[in-house]
Amino acid sequence: MAKSLFEELGGRYERQGDYLISCLSVPAEEEQPIGIWGQRHMNYLKQYHKVTYTNLLTNGRLNAYLVDVDRQAQERSHKLIEGMKQTQDNRTAKG
């Protein structure tokens, strides 16, 4: 029997009953804690961008991506808060 492209590229199958199931595994990824903004973005990807979510997950890059999204959101939040503080301070000083 001729090998499939999957087998030629190093993949293998496992027989389960009458079926051959491909043996796939997700690459190992360093687990880092994901903050609230990263978790919300993950839920958004799962609900509205399933292909992007699946690609990041199967490439082993989901956790790093979500940690980066969370970091960027926190930085923007801090900048917005600092801007609001300065605006409030300027209003108070003028008043």
* Helix/strand/coil (H/E/C) assignment for every residue in 61-80: CHHHHHHHHHHHHHHHHHHH
How do beta strands 19-22 and 13-16 pair? antiparallel
Tell me: pLDDT of 52 over 80: yes
Give the range among 6-15, 43-52, 78-87 with minimum mean pLDDT: 6-15
pLDDT at 23 over 90: no
In this prediction, residues 4-14 reach a mean pLDDT of 82
pLDDT of residue 95: 64
pLDDT band at 38 (very low <50, low <70, confident <90, very high): very high
